[in-house]
Every structure is written in structure tokens, then in C-alpha cells.
Amino acid sequence: MRLLYLVRHAQASFGKRDYDALSDLGHEQSRVLGRALADRQIVPDVVIRGELRRHRETADGILVGLADADADAAASVPVEVDAGWDEFDFQHVVEVHKPLYRSRTVMLADLARSRTPRQRFQEIFEDATARWTGGESDDDYRESFPAFTDRIQAALLAAAARTPDSGTAIVVTSGGPIGLAASHLLAGDASLWAPLNKVAVNTAVTKVINGRSGLTLSSYNDHSHVEHDRRLLTYR
């Protein structure tokens, strides 16, 4: 039996010029996860990550946390990059839905008029992704939802094949790919993607068993390693 742990990246820098960089809290979250994995004696045979900065920094932090418990073991873990695990371009999806948001200044000013800018952005994001996943406007996007689905399914199968027999792989990616992979493993299609994606916690772990009968979802969005400190429990 082989195990895949799909890890959502730590907190990124919402509202900052470079969203893709982890926040200070995000760096802390990734190290906390690494130490929690070490406490459970989970040392991966390989770490696979997307090519985004938030994926790289989260993977680095996990390895730092693992090294706190076993420096030699953590140092020997190979890290591979697979762009198939990159998040969909949510900024582009939002801009197709609200063309004025192509201007960052206009977007930030519009959100600032709300007393709850994060909540307002989430509402816009959900409307934009509903349009993207609806199937009626696929040609409007650089990557349609069906193309995104195919990409994530291929990345999941590649990660499963990369995991050694009786071994463990940690995949560092984003909420969208994890929710989509989980939806297909549970329902055989993307029908559960939106509600699963909505509740994804930063550095949450989704466990997939790769057994004789194929891939099986064992658990989704486990964030017990941050529940002891509400400061560490974030969604964006």
C-alpha cells in the first residue's frame, strides 16, 4: 500500500502585491505541519510540489519542521516539481467575470468600500468560479474547467506512480486541485468541487490510499495540527 498526502499551501499574502509569497504566519504554519508529521513518524519518500512560490515555500517549511525531529531524514527527501499541481488562474477567472478587476487599483478600491473585503472577494470569487465551471463559456478562458480537471487527474496519477511500493509521497499544492481530486475520488466527477474547495484550510492534509483497487480517499482537509491555536487556523 502506498500513501499520498495532499497538502494545501500555507497562508499566502492576500491583498499584497505578491499574493504568491507566504505570509509570516504561513511560514509558521508550514513548519508546524512538518513537526506534526514528524511526531506521527511520517517522513516522505518524495515531496512533489507545484511550481508556484507558495508551493515551494510551504514545502521548504515542511522540511524544516521535519528536520527539527530528524535532520538526516529530512535532508535526504527528494523534492520534485510538477506544474500539473498548480492552482487554476483564479485572477483570470475573476477578471473574465468582472473585467474592471483587470486593474488591481480598481479591484482593491472596490473591495475597500466593503466593511468585509475578504468576504466580499469570496462572494465575487464564488460567482466567478460558478461561471467558469458552468460549461457554457469555456472559450472565454485560457484554461477551461474541463482542461483543469484533466490536468489534475493526470497529476494525481503521476504522483501515485511516482510513490515507491509501501512508500509515502507528500504533494504540496492548492485548494482547487485538492478539492477536485477529492471530488473525483468520492463522486467520480467534479460535482463536489465547489463545496470542498470552499472549506479548505491552509496546510490541511488530505490522505489518499493507493492500493490494489486503485486510489481511495481516506480523509479530507485534516487540520488537527493547527486546531490547538486559533491564530494558525486560516482559509486564505
Q: Are 171 and 48 in contact (CB under 8 A)?
A: yes
How far is it, in rounded angstroms, from Cα 88 to Cα 125? 12
Residues 6+ apart with CB under 8 A from 37: 5, 43, 62, 65, 66, 170
How far is it, in rounded angstroms, from Cα 187 to Cα 228? 32
Residues 6+ apart with CB under 8 A from 41: none
DSSP 42-101: ---SEEEE-SSHHHHHHHHHHHHHHHHH-HHHHHT--EEE-GGGPPP-HHHHHHHHSGGG
* C-alpha 185 chain-centroid distance: 16
How far is it, in rounded angstroms, from Cα 228 to Cα 84? 33
- Mean pLDDT score of the chain: 94
> Which of 15-29, 41-55, 115-129 tops mean pLDDT?
41-55
Q: Are 93 and 129 in contact (CB under 8 A)?
A: yes
H or E, element range at 6 = strand 2-8
* Helix locations, the chain, DSSP H: 24-39, 53-69, 71-75, 90-97, 104-112, 117-133, 145-162, 175-187, 193-198
pTM above 0.85, yes or no: yes
Assign 119 a pLDDT band (cuts: 50, 70, 90). confident
Over the stretch 152-189, which tens digit does the pLDDT of each residue have? 999 999 999 999 999 999 999 999 999 999 999 999 99
